[in-house]
A and B are shown apart, each in its own frame.
Chain A
Amino acid sequence: MKYFSAGHGACPGCGLPIAVKNVLQVLDGKCFVVNSTGCLEIISSQYGKSAWGVPYIHSLFENAAPVAAGIEAALKALGRKDEGHVVVFAGDGATADIGFGCLSGVMDRNHDIIYICLDNEAYQNTGHQQSGLTPLGEATTTTPVGKMMPGKLKNKKDMVSIAVAHGIPYVATSSSGFPADIRRKVKRALEFEGTKYIQIHSPCVTGWGVDGKGGVIAAKLAVETGLYPLVEFEYGKLTRVRKIKDRKPVEEYLKMQRRFRHLFKHPMGKQIIEELQRIADENTRRYGLDVKRK
């Protein structure tokens, strides 16, 4: 591929390059990539060792969205709008926490960009600290498991609803466990003018505590348990979901990852597993994920 190079520093089995290369392929390299500080940026943009074959800019941690807005504005002002699409790759911390305000401003002004949140559910690059998109019960280094605490006590921020509430034309979730889904959604997003928000669940083998292939396995299970619903909203209306045949219980997803395994031993663990199952059930109900049996 001439848009993203092998030789980058991602961990074996990392979900980030799976998402990135599929996005770039759909765009056929006709894009300007804005990347916030984080794992993707660090593994791909060392001076003299860039893995990017498309125009790329990394500014700071929290400003990928407005930097993208600036590029979009410049292209418009300079009559270069057809040169390429402006795409943001930002982690969950950069999106839901430190960059939240800036992202809201960009969505509010509906700049014509595709904002892709690569959600590996924590600040992984700095060693696995909790973020706004870390799920309930996860052990991170800032929500560790101890005698008093069973890991994170609050569930993920609902970025999808927040994005939809801004009135942008296209909001979707996808997963590195389903790259064909990523491609379809990016292709669909291109049909809209305005801010498109796609949140891609991206496994982190090191942070989640799985082996090389375990990331993709976990990502698929996240979808198949209903914990990470794959949905699509167009102009605020739910238009499509990925239905689940034979939905799996959340335990299957949780027990295969070190970040959740403590829940099976900790005194508060059972409560949390039940709550996570309830969340999965609620997602399923809310988005109509279960395939109805005749």
Chain B
Amino acid sequence: MIEITIGAISKPMEAKKIKTGDWGTEYPVVDIEKCSGCKSCEMFCPDLCVEVVKENRKKYAVFNYDYCKGCGVCAFVCPEDAIKMEMKEIYKLEVE
């Protein structure tokens, strides 16, 4: 027996269940030293998976790899060039 709602009305924010982090072939790596905490990446990220946090007076970007699709927009918009897109291990080909 399953439960369905009247008129297919859905509860909010259930998309969180879907971890889209396995979509991308690349992932962003932030150089915390270079990061100025400007929030450009946070403002742009289409997948809402980067947040600027503050730790000991230092602001820097933290990524949530559960959802990151590896689009690379963050790396492109970062004014400090602090983000680099790295290829995920499983996609690295061994060339003999």
Residues of A within 8 A of B (CB): 1-2, 4-18, 21-22, 44-45, 47-54, 179-180, 205, 211-213, 215-217
B10 touches A212 (CB 8 A): no
Q: A12-B23, A50-B10 are known contacts. Are A18 and B44 too (CB-CB below 8 A)? A: yes
A5 touches B13 (CB 8 A): yes
Residues of B within 8 A of A (CB): 8, 10-20, 23-24, 43-49, 64, 66-67, 69-73, 75-77
Q: DSSP majority for the A interface?
A: loop
What's the least CB distance linking B2 to chain A, in Å? 11
Of A4, A13, A22, which contacts B73 at CB under 8 A?
A: A13
A12 touches B11 (CB 8 A): no
A6 touches B23 (CB 8 A): no
For A14, what are the chain B residues with a Cβ–Cβ distance below 8 Å? 46
A212 touches B72 (CB 8 A): yes
B46 touches A7 (CB 8 A): no
A18 touches B46 (CB 8 A): yes
What's the least CB distance linking B62 to chain A, in Å? 14
A7 touches B15 (CB 8 A): yes
B19 touches A12 (CB 8 A): no
A13 touches B10 (CB 8 A): no
For A212, what are the chain B residues with a Cβ–Cβ distance below 8 Å? 24, 69-73
Q: How far is the CA of A12 from the CA of B20 in the complex (A)?
A: 10
